[in-house]
Amino acid sequence: MGIHWRRLRQRQLSKRVQAGSRFLPTTGINPVRPGLLPVHDDHAQEWIIEEIGMTRFLFALIVIVLLGVSLAGAVLAQEPTCEDAIGCVTLAPDDPVTIAWMQTVSGPTSFFGDDAVGGIEIAMEQRDYTVLGREIELIGEDSLCNPEGGQTAAQRLVSDPQVVAIIGPSCSSAAVPAIPIASNAGFLMVSPMTTSSALTNPDRDAGGVWMPGFFRTVYNNLLEGAVAAQFAYEELDARTMATIHDGSNYAFDLALATERNFVEFGGEITFSGAVNVGDTDMSAILTNIASNPPDVLFFPIFQPEGDYLVAQAKFIPGLEDVIMLTADALLVEGFPIDSGEAALGVMLTGPAVTGEPYEAFLELWFDKYGEAPPSGFHAHSFDAANMVLDAIEAVAITGEDGTTLVGRQALRDAFANYRDFEGLTGNLSCSPTGDCGAVESMVIFIITEAEVFEGKWPPTILWKPGSEESE
Amino acid sequence: MTQTRTVSRNKLFGIPLPAGHTGVDLIISALRIIIVALIIIGAGNTLLEGRFTFEQWLALLFAGLAQGSIYALIALGYTLVYGILRMINFAHGDVFMAGAFTTVFLANSFRQSGFLDSQPLLAILILMGFAALVSMTVAVLLERIAYRPLRNAPRLVPLITAIGASFFIQYTFRGLFGSGFKAYPTVAFLRGTFSVGSINVPIAQLFVFVSAIVLMICLYWLVERTRIGKAMRSVSEDKEVATLMGVNIDLIIVFTFAIGGALAGAAGVINGLFRPQGVNFFMGFFPGIKAFTAAVLGGIGNIPGAMLGGMFLGVIEAIGPNLVLNGLGIPSANQLKDVIAFTMLVLVLIFRPQGILGERLSAEKA
């Protein structure tokens, strides 16, 4: 016992000596001029001088000087300073660049989210998950397709100051609460598939919810509605129209925009109603429409309700001559395949996402996931991801010590300044209020036998706004 | 003294009620009158307006019957399990999905090989058998893993477990087959129509209706006329006494789940042939809820009741929005078709709390 005790004391003593020497430089004690010491205890002072000795003093002095020089050098020459109005993301030399998506990846709308995430992942893969010479860390948050989901996901993402940009959300209903959260936190949020006109409308009195920092690579419903109405009135010579939405922000807004434009052209709306998400039997609403058949039935709804509607319309007496016009919600490779013969002659408004780059993209998708994309927004997501990465590369400032700063306002400005970005969905130019969707590429497609039986995709383009003759 | 007390007990807003009536009775009577009046006014308006032709009403009726047959087929599984275990198997809609989703791949390969068009009936039977097998496996595993350990737990416990199991099955299948939509191939002979008077009824509607009736009859025969059916009924009456009589309860319960699962799987294929589109991991959710409603409507635990409840719900959903809500001048009537469906549920239940064909709900069954 006794020996133990002694050993312990010895160890404590030697520790004390070490501690004294280690703390010496930082406490500012200068043994050469003992008068400057904060004298509390004469014994302590003596003890320090006795224990440490002269060589150690010199050594310590050199260390202090070296440290001081290097610190001063770092401050003066190497550390970049953030001059951004709303702050920067600071990336230490080894930090990855964190990009976040918030999409609906669970529940009945998860096919949207999977579609978007797939597009984002392919965009990242094409760059080997590298931007600014750093690794990209892609994180995700499930924002569902409702306000609660959007709120929660946005709150979680903005709580991480390393997140440079958010790609999402999937649904306009989730975007409404997410926009102010992301905007107030200084984040950049780019949505690849929310088309509601309110989202990029800054006028609160008119129901707008836009705030700085929100952009979308998909077009505005107002645009699509105008094209749909123009096509119906001028090209199809339709004078009456019925619309069906599904209660979603997207479908309701688009149906409304189309109705307004159609009425402005001089047309008449004979019926405007809605189905529920989850309905399988569409005979009730179709019979209602058939009681006063319109020239055109516009139904901007999604799978599977859109499939059911198209398939069942064939059996409703009175709808034989009605032209079925839908929107990009059904611009999905599975739609003609799933609906079969019933889809023949169905027309769709949507972006002319065609051409070789898109086909190459589809091939990549197929190699990665083994099946066709589950919805029609993968190309917009791909563009959104690329635009975000390009913007980051444009605004990032790297100091000599390897620290990188990404200014949040600079990032927003870079987005707002996008002009003719060549994406899969066309040439994207951003408006000051966040509309980046490629406007010139809105066309009317038609489903023909090639799409139904031979799997041709994207479908045949029937008409382009501005073109006099339909093909 | 006693009389005074009785009178004071049966007052509503200070107004004495007739002897033997309580305030609740009066409110329920008022509710009955209001709902019935609304329905009569709405229907009357629509019919007087003459917006729809007789043929259109008939077409709606047939569409509703076909949709109702799907509800009925799923409802059979709910009612069977409830009848035996007094437990609501909320994962049943997902058992339906399991069969339908898995079989869609087989169905499409049948179409590609030409088998579906050369031997449609045989192909459909094989598809139904395969789907039944898949759903049966899922249902039996569900019982073994999720429900059996909780058989003697309080009633809420298996209910919540069922909801959890429902999510589990959904996301398992999403992991297996993805979140996109698949579709069944259309079978040539189901594509046509046949004429009833002046209207054309799609053969697919007749097919689903007849299939549902046939399966219901088979099930009814199984439960009422066979030895194992007798054992099922005995377990339903009283588990302990059934054990004493030599009935292997575990076996009977597994059998019940297996039969319910097989029916759901077959329903999945019938549904797929009737409404080919929209096959995905979430497809069981809404039909599951509707089928549960149908089972309650018909009298839960009662097999013909589930059938009748399903048909009733399907027809109400098809006809109700146009008949009642349009007549009441409600905009976007079709969006409120669930309102019609559930109002009807309330209406039936306030007239017949035990459901259309329900037996008395004795204390031990309820």
Nearest-5° Cα angle at A186, A181 to A188 = 85
Instruction: Examine residue B33 and state whether it is found in any structural domain, yes or no.
Output: no
Instruction: Examine residue B357 and state whether it is found in any structural domain, yes or no.
Output: no
Task: Sort out which chain B residues have CB atoms less than 8 A from A287's CB and list them.
Answer: 52, 56, 59-60, 322
What φ, ψ does residue A135 adopt, rounded to 5°? -75, 145
Instruction: Examine residue B2 and state whether it is found in any structural domain, yes or no.
Output: no
Check if the beta carbon of residue B296 is closer than 8 Å to that of residue B170. no
Q: Does residue A417 surpass a pLDDT of 90? A: yes
Check if the beta carbon of residue A440 is closer than 8 Å to that of residue A452. no
Q: Supply the pLDDT for residue A160.
A: 94
Q: Does residue A36 surpass a pLDDT of 80? A: no
Work out the minimum CA distance from A288 to partner chain B, whole angstroms: 7
Tokens matching residue B152: 């003697």
Rounded-to-integer distance, Cα B293 and Cα B273, Å:
24
Binary contact (B56, A287; C-beta < 8 A): yes
Interface test with B, best of A109, A256, A271, A283 (most B CBs within 10 A): A283
Any idea which of A21-25, A445-449, B227-231, B358-362 has the lowest mean pLDDT?
A21-25
**Chain A, 80-119: which have a CB under 8 Å from a chain B CB?**
106-108, 110-111, 113-114
Task: Spell out the CATH class of A222-353+443-463.
Answer: alpha beta
Binary contact (A339, B277; C-beta < 8 A): yes
Task: Sort out which chain B residues have CB atoms less than 8 A from A372's CB and list them.
Answer: 180
Interface test with A, best of B73, B108, B181, B336 (most A CBs within 10 A): B181
Rounded-to-integer distance, Cα A417 and Cα A434, Å:
10
Instruction: Examine residue B4 and state whether it is found in any structural domain, yes or no.
Output: no
Q: Does residue A46 surpass a pLDDT of 60? A: no
Any idea which of A43-57, A338-352, B165-179 has the lowest mean pLDDT?
A43-57
Number of domains in chain B: 1
Work out the minimum CA distance from B307 to partner chain A, whole angstroms: 18
CATH of domain A88-218+377-437: 3.40.50.2300
Position A25 confidence tier, pLDDT thresholds 50, 70, 90: very low
Q: Supply the pLDDT for residue A78.
A: 62
**HEC secondary structure over B242-305:** HHHCCCCHHHHHHHHHHHHHHHHHHHHHHHHHHCCCCECCCCCHHHHHHHHHHHHHHCCCCHHH
Query: What is the arithmetic mean of pLDDT over A91-119?
Result: 91
Q: Does residue A32 surpass a pLDDT of 80? A: no
Q: What is the pLDDT of residues A216-245, one digit of tens each?
A: 998 889 989 999 999 999 999 999 999 999
Q: Supply the pLDDT for residue A51.
A: 53
CB contact A291 to B (< 8 Å):
yes
Q: Supply the pLDDT for residue A176.
A: 92
What's chain A's length in residues? 471
Task: Sort out which chain A residues have CB atoms less than 8 A from B287's CB and list them.
Answer: 280
Query: What is the arithmetic mean of pLDDT over A250-269?
Result: 94
Give which of A28, A414, A424, A438 is closest to A213, Cα–Cα: A414
Rounded-to-integer distance, Cα A405 and Cα B236, Å:
70
Give which of B185, B130, B175 is closest to B281, Cα–Cα: B175
CATH number at residue B68: 1.10.3470
Residue found by looking up tokens 């404590």 in the block: A12
Binary contact (A317, B67; C-beta < 8 A): no
Instruction: Examine residue B25 and state whether it is found in any structural domain, yes or no.
Output: no
Task: Sort out which chain B residues have CB atoms less than 8 A from A373's CB and list them.
Answer: 180
Q: Smallest Cβ distance to B67: which of A281, A369, A374? A: A281
CA-based R_g, chain B, Å: 23
Q: Smallest Cβ distance to A281: which of B53, B183, B318? A: B318
Q: Does residue A125 surpass a pLDDT of 90? A: yes
Query: What is the arithmetic mean of pLDDT over A396-401?
Result: 90
Q: Supply the pLDDT for residue B360.
A: 55
Work out the minimum CA distance from B223 to partner chain A, whole angstroms: 31
Task: Sort out which chain A residues have CB atoms less than 8 A from B317's CB and list them.
Answer: 281, 284
Q: Supply the pLDDT for residue B227.
A: 94
Nearest-5° Cα angle at A428, A426 to A429 = 150
Give which of A302, A298, A307 is closest to A271, Cα–Cα: A298
Higher pLDDT, B79 or A7: B79
Segment (H or E) for A132: none
Check if the beta carbon of residue A217 is closer than 8 Å to that of residue A190. yes
Instruction: Examine residue B366 and state whether it is found in any structural domain, yes or no.
Output: no
Please list the pLDDT of chain B residue by residue as tens digits (366 residues).
444 444 445 666 666 666 666 778 888 888 888 888 988 998 898 888 888 888 888 888 999 999 999 999 999 999 999 888 888 899 999 999 999 999 999 999 999 999 998 999 999 999 999 999 999 999 999 999 999 999 888 988 998 999 999 999 999 999 999 888 889 998 888 888 888 777 788 899 999 999 999 999 999 999 999 999 999 999 988 889 999 999 999 999 999 999 999 999 999 999 999 988 889 999 999 999 999 999 999 988 888 999 999 999 999 998 888 888 888 888 778 888 888 888 888 888 888 888 888 775 444 444
Torsion sign (Cα): A249, A251, A256, A257:
positive
Binary contact (A311, B277; C-beta < 8 A): yes
Residue A219 DSSP one-character state: P
Binary contact (A337, B183; C-beta < 8 A): yes
What number of C-beta contacts closer than 8 Å exist between A and B? 140
Binary contact (B180, A114; C-beta < 8 A): yes
CB contact A273 to B (< 8 Å):
yes
Binary contact (B64, A283; C-beta < 8 A): yes
Q: Smallest Cβ distance to B277: which of A113, A338, A371? A: A338
Q: What is the pLDDT of residues A186-203, one digit of tens each?
A: 999 999 989 899 999 999
Higher pLDDT, A167 or A67: A167
List CB contacts of B264: < 8 A, sequence separation 6 or more: B73, B74, B77, B92, B95, B96, B99, B135, B139
Q: End-to-end distance of chain B based on CA atoms, in angstroms?
A: 37
Q: Residue B144: give the domain boundaries.
A: 52-351
Instruction: Examine residue B363 and state whether it is found in any structural domain, yes or no.
Output: no
In whole numbers, what is the pLDDT of chain A averaged over residues? 84
Position A57 confidence tier, pLDDT thresholds 50, 70, 90: low
Residue A321 DSSP one-character state: T
Instruction: Examine residue B287 and state whether it is found in any structural domain, yes or no.
Output: yes
Rounded-to-integer distance, Cα A140 and Cα A99, Å:
8
Determine the 3-state secondary structure of A445 from DSSP: strand
Q: End-to-end distance of chain A based on CA atoms, in angstroms?
A: 102
Query: What is the arithmetic mean of pLDDT over A285-298?
Result: 92
List CB contacts of A363: < 8 A, sequence separation 6 or more: none
